[in-house]
């Protein structure tokens, strides 16, 4: 099996995000504390270290924060995004003009702590289902303005991504179905509208809606708020509809993919994955992830 390449962040997007964050923090007069207490010609060296177990993500943003504050700052990394680290690990060293180092510190750490938190929390979900073929996916429930960064962090933690926005895939939800007048009709309308590269997914809340959806053949069916028993039955119905034996069901490209959503947390995701669904989507890994404790400590020389 080919190992998938991990994504990289666009340097243009990184610079745009970091520049905006620095502008927000520096305000109208800049870092008046550093200006008041540190001479212009002073230099400083500092280490960034992990203070708890976790997965690091966001090193490019931290690097950009220091570089944009002052190109003379040197940022040296010892790990890479996606690495699982233990407390006390030094992830980077930064050195250069002291005022600039301290002025960029908070923006660099804010990005690192938040994205590493998302990656670390995602990794906990992924570990719970590692014995199954299911993948945990993030959704459009992200902090406004940070979607691309958070979805990147999810990938660093071993998760997968649902659609990025409203324009890259069709997801027919309950309100669309209510207005369109039915599951099958909504799927057929979506098929007629979409280009051949656009996936069509439909949300169902019952086995009856599942069977109606299967007749219209979407690419993916989202099973909303179904418990493990209903999910297991949905997998059986999907297998029987495709006319496949258990041994070939999981790998057969002809069948409709199934995604579970709703009531997904660290206590429930294992049982959900063991039902045989392909994907499990949850907003928890982006919206409820705690930050990872990362510090910057000046090294006296």
Task: Look up 141 and say whether it is catalytic.
Answer: yes
0.85 exceeded by the pTM? yes
Q: Are 154 and 116 in contact (CB under 8 A)?
A: no
Q: Catalytic residue among 128, 209, 224, 259, which?
A: 224
Buried-exposed string 203-229: b where 16+ CB fall within 10 A, e elsewhere? bbbeeebbebbbebebbbbbbbebebe
Q: Catalytic residue among 141, 188, 232, 270, which?
A: 141
CA distance 55 to 137: 17
- Say which residue the tokens 């979407």 belong to: 218
Task: Look up 224 and say whether it is catalytic.
Answer: yes
Query: What is the pLDDT at residue 3?
Result: 60
- Say which residue the tokens 């809606």 belong to: 209
Instruction: Classify residue 1 as exposed, middle or buried by CB count within 10 Å of its CB (0-12, 13-18, 19+).
Output: exposed
Residues of the chain with pLDDT under 70: 1-4, 300-301
Residue 268 per-residue DSSP state: T
Query: What is the pLDDT at residue 230?
Result: 97
Question: Which helix or strand (DSSP H or E) is residue 13 part of?
Answer: helix 11-26
Query: What is the pLDDT at residue 51?
Result: 97
Sheet containing 160-161, strands listed edge to edge, beginning at the edge strand earlier in sequence: 160-161, 135-138, 279-281, 257-261, 220-224, 200-204, 170-172
Query: What is the pLDDT at residue 87?
Result: 97
Task: Look up 63 and say whether it is catalytic.
Answer: no
For the chain, the helix, strand and coil percentages under 3-state DSSP, each to the nearest 5: 45, 20, 40
Main-chain phi, psi angles of 235, to 5 degrees: -65, -40
Query: What is the pLDDT at residue 153?
Result: 98
In percent, the amount of the chain with pLDDT more than 70 equals 98
Task: Look up 219 and say whether it is catalytic.
Answer: no
Question: Which tokens belong to 235?
Answer: 């997998």
Query: What is the pLDDT at residue 4?
Result: 67
Query: What is the pLDDT at residue 181?
Result: 87
Q: Catalytic residue among 203, 209, 259, 278, which?
A: 203
Task: Look up 124 and say whether it is catalytic.
Answer: no
Query: What is the pLDDT at residue 301?
Result: 55
Q: Catalytic residue among 93, 106, 199, 257, which?
A: 106
Question: Which tokens belong to 168?
Answer: 């890259």
Q: What's the Cα-to-Cα distance from 186 to each of 2, 175, 260, rounded to whole Å? A: 36, 11, 20
Q: Catalytic residue among 173, 240, 246, 252, which?
A: 173
Query: What is the pLDDT at residue 242?
Result: 78
Nearest Cα to Cα of residue 188 among 217, 168, 162: 217
């Amino acid at each position: 099996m080919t190992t998938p390449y991990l994504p990289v962040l666009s340097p243009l997007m990184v610079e745009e995000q970091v520049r905006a964050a620095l502008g927000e923090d520096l305000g109208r007069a800049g870092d008046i504390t550093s200006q008041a207490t540190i001479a212009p010609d002073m230099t400083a060296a500092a280490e960034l270290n992990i203070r708890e177990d976790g997965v690091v993500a966001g090193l490019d943003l931290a690097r950009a924060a220091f570089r944009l504050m002052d190109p003379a700052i040197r940022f040296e990394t010892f790990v890479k995004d996606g690495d699982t680290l233990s407390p006390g690990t030094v992830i980077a060293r930064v050195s250069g003009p002291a005022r600039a180092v301290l002025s960029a510190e908070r923006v660099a750490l804010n990005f690192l702590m938040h994205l590493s938190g998302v990656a670390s929390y995602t990794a906990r979900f992924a570990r719970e289902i590692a014995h199954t073929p299911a993948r945990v996916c993030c959704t459009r429930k992200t902090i406004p303005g940070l979607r691309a960064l958070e979805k990147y962090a999810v990938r660093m933690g071993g998760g997968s991504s649902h659609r990025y926005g409203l324009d890259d895939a069709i997801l027919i939800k309950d309100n669309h179905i209510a207005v369109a007048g039915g599951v099958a009709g909504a799927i057929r309308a979506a098929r007629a509208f979409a280009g051949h590269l656009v996936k069509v997914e439909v949300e169902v809340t019952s086995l009856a809606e599942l069977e109606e959806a299967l007749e219209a053949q979407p690419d993916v069916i989202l099973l909303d708020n179904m418990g493990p028993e209903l999910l297991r039955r949905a997998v059986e119905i999907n297998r029987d509809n495709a006319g496949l034996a258990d041994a070939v069901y999981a790998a057969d490209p002809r069948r409709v993919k199934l995604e579970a959503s709703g009531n997904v947390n660290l206590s429930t995701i294992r049982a959900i994955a063991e039902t045989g669904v392909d994907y499990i989507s949850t907003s928890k890994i982006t919206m409820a992830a705690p930050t990872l404790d990362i510090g910057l400590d000046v090294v006296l020389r």
